[in-house]
Every structure is written in structure tokens, then in C-alpha cells.
């Protein structure tokens, strides 16, 4: 059996007429104030005149611009802690320190110390020669005496310098002339530096004293052993 066809009703939504706002004509400025009727509803393009203030704004003095209240910052009373100063990533390279000026002793004082030490060395050499001559059965030839005396004098001078530089840091002649050893950097030389000065002194004396004479032509009046050992004599 076939059921009879049922009528199809459209899904219509019917709004009450009193909820639909009628279009109002906006009054012009020449027509005066507009007062809406009681119970009427405004459209989305209309503004309630009661919500608009018609009072004039307070006048500000000339040159003063009033800042709106909504633009005032709410965090004006907040104070931030002091931030630590940022360290520079690229630190400046340390500048090389200039070498201290050499306070070289005068030539007269160095000569005085040399003469005083040479006098003591000569006295020790003569005493040793006299003892050797008294104990010898016969004296050697003149050439042998000259060569042996030169070698003995160099050995006595080396022992003299090594003894005082190793134990006392200065020789009697340096103390008499008020001189002391000092490095080019301004420090007191160590024992190894003093021994190095003794070896450099041999290089100055062996070529007929050329290393000692070089002090006359040097710009700072330094000898070979001064340059090689990087030590010099200064007044104290």
C-alpha cells in the first residue's frame, strides 16, 4: 500500500514587527536637536544624542598641549634596577711597556773600579810569582817567563772575578767606586747571569781588549760583555 503524499512546509522564521527598527531620517544641524521617540530603537548608523556631551572643553594656556588621560602610561612609577655595565668583547691589546732607561755609571767610576781591581789582581799575581820563584830549582828562559806570566795573570784575574761575582755579587773595586750590577730590565742579576757576564768578559778581553775599547764607540758606552750578558754597571 502506498501512503498519500504529505504537504511540505517551508522552514520560515517570522520575526515580530515590533523588534524591527524603522529607518529614521537623521536630522540636519539646521533643524535643531533630535529627540528620539520613547520606545523607539536606534539603527546601527545612529547615535543616541544623550550619550554625547555638548559642554565645551576647558581651555588650555597658550603653548601647552593637553595630553589625553588614556595616553598616560600606567608604568610611570616603575623604576628599573641598575643594569651592570656590559663588558667589551674586544679588549684593547696591551701596549708594550717601554724599556727602562739605562742609568749607566760614568766612565771615570768604571775606570776607578777597574784600576782598583787590577791592583789587587796584580798584587796576588806578584805574590804567587815570588812564591813560585823561591820554590823553583832553576829559573826558566825569558820567553817562557813572559808566556807563563801572561797565562798566570789571566788565570788569577778570572779566579778573582769568579770568586767575588759568585759569592759577593760585586768586586772590591766596584764597592770602592760605589757601583753595582743591574740588568737591562732594571733587576738585580741572578748568579747565572753573573756567571754569563764572566764568560762574556773573556770574549771582550781575549781579542786584545777590543771588547773593552768598544765602549768608546758604543752609543750607550757599553762593552761587549755588557751587551752579551744584558747587564751593566750603575751607581748606587
- The tens digit of pLDDT for each residue in 184-194 reads 988 899 989 99
Residue 142 has pLDDT above 60, yes or no: yes
Give the number of other CB atoms < 10 A from CB of residue 171: 22
Give the residue-averaged pLDDT of 89-99: 59
pLDDT, residue 20, reads 46
Q: Which residues contact 170 (CB under 8 A, 6 or more apart)?
A: 164, 179, 180, 181
Distance of alpha carbon 95 from the chain centroid = 7
Q: How buried is residue 142: exposed, middle or buried, by Cβ count under 10 Å (0-12/13-18/19+)?
A: exposed
pLDDT, greater one: 64 or 175: 175
More confidently predicted of 32 and 13: 13
Question: Against a cut of 0.75, is the pTM above it?
Answer: no
Q: What is the dihedral of CA 127, 131, 134, 140, to 10 degrees?
A: -90
Give me 223's grid cell.
Answer: 762593552
Once rounded to an integer, what is the mean pLDDT over residues 94-109?
74
Band of residue 21 on the pLDDT scale cut at 50, 70, 90: very low
Q: What residue ranges do the domains of the chain occupy?
A: 107-235
pLDDT digits (tens, 9 = 90+) for 197-206: 988 988 888 8
- Beta bridge partners of residue 181, listed in sequence order: 233
Helices (H) and strands (E) in the chain, counts: 6, 2
Q: What are the cell numbers at 52?
A: 554625547
Q: In this structure, what C-alpha cell is assigned to residue 117?
A: 781591581
Q: Is the pLDDT of residue 19 over 50?
A: no
Q: What is the mean pLDDT of residues 36-65?
A: 62
Q: Provide the 3-class DSSP secondary structure of residue 106.
A: coil
Instruction: State mean pLDDT over 166-192.
Output: 90
Question: For residues 197 and 189, is the Cβ–Cβ distance under 8 A?
Answer: yes
* Residue 227: pLDDT over 50: yes
Amino acid at each position: 500500500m502506498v501512503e498519500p503524499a504529505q504537504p511540505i512546509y517551508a522552514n520560515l522564521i517570522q520575526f515580530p514587527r515590533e523588534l524591527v527598527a524603522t529607518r529614521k531620517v537623521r536630522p540636519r544641524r539646521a533643524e535643531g536637536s533630535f529627540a528620539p521617540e520613547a520606545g523607539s530603537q536606534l539603527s546601527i548608523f545612529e547615535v543616541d544624542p544623550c550619550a554625547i556631551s555638548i559642554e565645551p572643553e576647558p581651555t588650555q594656556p597658550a603653548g601647552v598641549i593637553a595630553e589625553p588621560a588614556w595616553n598616560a602610561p600606567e608604568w610611570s612609577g616603575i623604576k628599573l634596577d641598575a643594569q651592570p655595565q656590559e663588558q667589551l668583547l674586544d679588549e684593547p691589546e696591551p701596549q708594550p711597556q717601554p724599556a727602562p732607561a739605562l742609568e749607566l755609571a760614568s766612565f771615570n767610576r768604571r775606570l776607578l773600579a777597574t784600576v782598583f781591581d787590577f791592583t789587587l789582581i796584580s798584587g796576588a799575581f806578584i805574590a804567587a810569582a815570588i812564591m813560585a820563584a823561591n820554590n823553583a830549582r832553576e829559573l826558566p828562559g825569558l820567553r817562557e817567563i813572559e808566556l807563563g806570566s801572561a797565562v798566570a795573570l789571566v788565570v788569577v784575574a778570572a779566579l778573582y772575578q769568579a770568586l767575588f761575582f759568585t759569592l759577593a755579587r760585586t768586586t772590591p773595586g766596584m764597592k770602592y767606586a760605589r757601583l753595582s750590577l743591574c740588568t737591562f730590565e732594571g733587576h738585580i742579576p741572578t748568579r747565572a747571569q753573573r756567571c754569563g757576564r764572566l764568560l762574556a768578559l773573556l770574549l771582550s778581553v781575549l781579542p786584545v781588549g777590543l771588547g773593552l775599547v768598544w765602549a768608546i764607540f758604543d752609543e750607550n758606552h757599553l762593552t761587549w760583555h755588557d751587551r752579551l750578558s744584558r747587564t751593566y754597571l750603575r751607581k748606587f
